[in-house]
Structure 1
């Protein structure tokens, strides 16, 4: 008796691979054909080292929080270092916009023109982006805080609308120098302590998990309150004819701050090839051993414990 033919169920199609900008925080740094602001891809190894040592969360590999974290880190690389939108892979150019605290949404062109700091800070008694250029804004903040790490704390919903809470932190190593909303030069002495700001972002993404409408809420004055925790700042009239960049440059040179041009953009510190290799090896060792050093959280911010993966994942 012949065996009956058994019809096999159709094989399920394999799930498409996730974009590399979701699986690695450094994916866009490997874009060899991209135009880079300083002629080559930047080196993020010192900031990545600080992140590994002082982060609050340890997200499960491949979890939604980790994927969101990687997406935003790659977006920041592109916003800071790729002057041509044609090279941005993390956004849906036709549908992309960015807004802070309910302000009028702006396109990517605006951030390229004014810089990432000026795009997110409203005029206040410490700083006014209308007096500052892309270059001078990064001299103000990057020189004050050479490494400024970023992490996802919680993810509340997955695609197509991703909502999450985040943390951005560093150490105030040099004096703050900026121009405020009255056109005055504002100086705050470095205190060597932590600066830790937190906020919430809601972002829509397309089927390639590229950013579309990005809406962020945070208190920008929180950073300045931590820069001058006792409210002690020096305010001076700016000499006629001096630009914000001149003011910042003169003050920082006088106080002995020395940095290369490449260090004036967010989350970036230049290392030699040998230093970068040592840093990477140290990060890998700490990750293997589950070692984190931690950083004190300023008063007013809740401590966040170790986090696991989220049951909602990218599909």
Structure 2
């Protein structure tokens, strides 16, 4: 990729339209490493049903709805991560953009820009904070990006797997992945691929600019993988966090399979405690 900011998958990085853009880090970003990861490991083929027969990943046809949606989302993510002012965004409808995750509260454009994409996508789950997996309330835009950039030095790639409906309301399935080649919250790198899948509903205007974005996914798929690495010093508290991280990963696998979760012994009960009425998770309850 040249220094002009040209990119095969993202628009609005360079040119006259960006001459007054305020970039967070002083200049447009480059995506050489993550583009190489995307091109090497994308899973979609021209006909997804033939992927097993083809055996190699292929690009979506030029101009196809799948390619348009994929590149539009990559552009939006670039702007959200690297442009400092919402007025410089070209991928969203001015004054109308909202983002909601897993049915939660919709955030407007300015709020989403202030907290950052990671905090917007990972907020609202006490379980994540309890597992020391992620606490959006304790992270800033900058700290959240530093955290994940350290864990994924080559970046995290993103692709469209299926598009179910066309504009103005676009529903699609996606995959997001990277390799944990750096530390995460004091845990060592594992070198393993960490990925998650989800679906999104994107409402666009006549210029294909985003107005409303709804994202649905299981954060346990992502964070369970990041907590597998050991800490240098292992304590009872650390082992409890690892166990909870394993449960996050197991829950994500069960969610993906559609099967009912198996009963588990409550981690808060031990021998010598009085017998209590247990709920379906094996914990005290009504």
Query: Any conservation in 1 of the 2:9–2:74 contact (CA below 8 Å)?
Result: yes
Who is 2:147 aligned against? 140
Who is 2:278 aligned against? none
State the Cα deviation string for residues 79-106 of structure 1 (Å, max 9, x = none).
0011111110000022110000000100
SS in 2 for 1:68: helix
**2:211, 2:32 → 1: CA distance?**
28
Query: Any conservation in 2 of the 1:153–1:166 contact (CA below 8 Å)?
Result: yes
Larger radius of gyration: 1
Who is 1:39 aligned against? 26
Alignment of 1:1-315 (within 5 A): 25-30=9-14, 31-57=18-44, 58-122=59-123, 123=125, 124=128, 125=131, 126-146=133-153, 147-177=155-185, 187-229=186-228
Who is 1:259 aligned against? none
**1:78, 1:38 → 2: CA distance?**
12
CA drift of 1:195 comes to 0.5
CA drift of 1:43 comes to 0.8
Q: Which runs of 5+ in 1 are unaligned?
A: 1-22, 178-186, 238-297, 303-315
1 or 2 for the larger relative contact order (CA 8 Å, sep ≥6)?
Answer: 1
Q: Which runs of 5+ in 2 are unaligned?
A: 1-6, 45-58, 238-251, 258-286
**Count of residue pairs brought into register by the alignment:** 210
CA RMSD in angstroms, aligned pairs only: 2.3
Query: Any conservation in 2 of the 1:205–1:212 contact (CA below 8 Å)?
Result: yes
**1:145, 1:70 → 2: CA distance?**
21
SS in 2 for 1:119: helix
**2:236, 2:19 → 1: CA distance?**
45
Who is 1:269 aligned against? none
CA drift of 1:32 comes to 3.3
TM-score by length of 1: 0.62
Query: Any conservation in 1 of the 2:95–2:109 contact (CA below 8 Å)?
Result: no
